[in-house]
Amino acid sequence: MLDWPWMNIRSAADLKIRLFADGADLQGMLKMYSMPWIQGFTTNPTLIRKAGISDYAAFGQQVVQSIPDRPISFEVFSDDFAEMERQAMEMAHWGSNVYVKIPITNTRGESSVELCRRLAARGLKLNVTALMTLQQVHEIAAALAGGPPAYVSVFAGRAADTGVDPVPLMRTALGILAPYPNIQLIWASPRELLNIVQADTIGCHIITVTYDLLAKLDLLGKDLAEYSLDTVKMFYRDAQASGFQI
């Protein structure tokens, strides 16, 4: 029988990686806040729009007042670097636990590395987001080196959607960031519970997890024979409820 490293992970308590809840519903965030294994929060304009929020600043300030002691990432929403800089400075004032998310490029593919360098030099905590290549990791690591605490969010899940194995990608990214103790790697956009275990196994610092995926944490370590039986019972219940006949 093969003894894979992740076979020793039987519950959320066995995870070394930090779990950040990914969402923009205040009530949902507060529910996650009550769970000690949720150690931070991330949002983005897409999630905030889906939540029906129209006043970005009021929402951000309310979240920080409600959750003052865990890192929370809010993303700028301009496509112009000068305006991104202004928004970043404003967001940073919402609270000491705020990390400002800056996309690695604007929509024209122009790099935000120099903007990130300036913001870090001014003392802002950044979460540089939407990275998918190792070249991007190299460039942003150099820009953030020696600055305040920062996160680099590599979208491993989206890379996997293209057929790329995210594990070697993220392991190499960890190696790139290893010389920079102020920078932590986020495994972003996980698609399944296995990704949390994979990220934990390679020593990734943080993984962002949606509420739907967090709800599956109780499945960690579940006996597969028992799970097989549960599945058979589910099929049987649904067949009986349908009243199928042949």
pLDDT tens for 72-115 read 999 999 999 999 999 999 999 999 999 999 999 999 999 999 99
- The pLDDT of 142-168, averaged and rounded, is 98
- The pLDDT of 6-30, averaged and rounded, is 86
Phi, then psi, of 213 in degrees rounded to 5: -75, -35
Residue 93 lies in a domain: yes
Rounded to the nearest integer, the mean pLDDT of the chain is 94
Told to judge if 101 belongs to the known catalytic residues of this protein, a careful annotator would answer: yes
pLDDT of residue 7: 52
pLDDT of residue 2: 37
Q: How far apart are CA 221 and CA 194, in angstroms?
A: 11
- The pLDDT of 164-190, averaged and rounded, is 98
Catalytic site residue from 50, 101, 216, 222: 101
Is the pLDDT confidence value at 152 over 90? yes
Q: How far apart are CA 40 and CA 42, in angstroms?
A: 7
Residue 179 lies in a domain: yes
Q: How far apart are CA 140 and CA 119, in angstroms?
A: 12
Using the structure block, give the residue that is written with the tokens 């070697």.
168
Phi, then psi, of 82 in degrees rounded to 5: -65, -40
Q: How confident is the model at residue 10 (pLDDT cuts 50, 70, 90)?
A: low
Token output for 11 = 């519950």
Residue 238 lies in a domain: no
Q: What is the CATH number of the domain that holds 133?
A: 3.20.20.70
Q: How confident is the model at residue 6 (pLDDT cuts 50, 70, 90)?
A: very low
Residue 7 lies in a domain: no
Q: Name the helix (H) or strand (E) containing 187.
A: strand 183-187
Residue 155 lies in a domain: yes
Residue 162 lies in a domain: yes
pLDDT of residue 1: 35
- The pLDDT of 192-209, averaged and rounded, is 97
- The pLDDT of 23-45, averaged and rounded, is 95
pLDDT of residue 112: 98
- The pLDDT of 174-197, averaged and rounded, is 97
Pick the closest to residue 206 from 168, 180, 174, 175 (CA basis).
Answer: 174
Q: How far apart are CA 131 and CA 154, in angstroms?
A: 5
Domain total of the chain: 1
Neighbour tally for 130: CB within 10 Å: 19
DSSP 245: -
Token output for 133 = 């290549």
pLDDT of residue 74: 98
Residue 49 lies in a domain: yes
Q: Name the helix (H) or strand (E) containing 19.
A: strand 18-22
Is the pLDDT confidence value at 3 over 50? no
Residue 3 lies in a domain: no
Structural domain of 98: 14-219
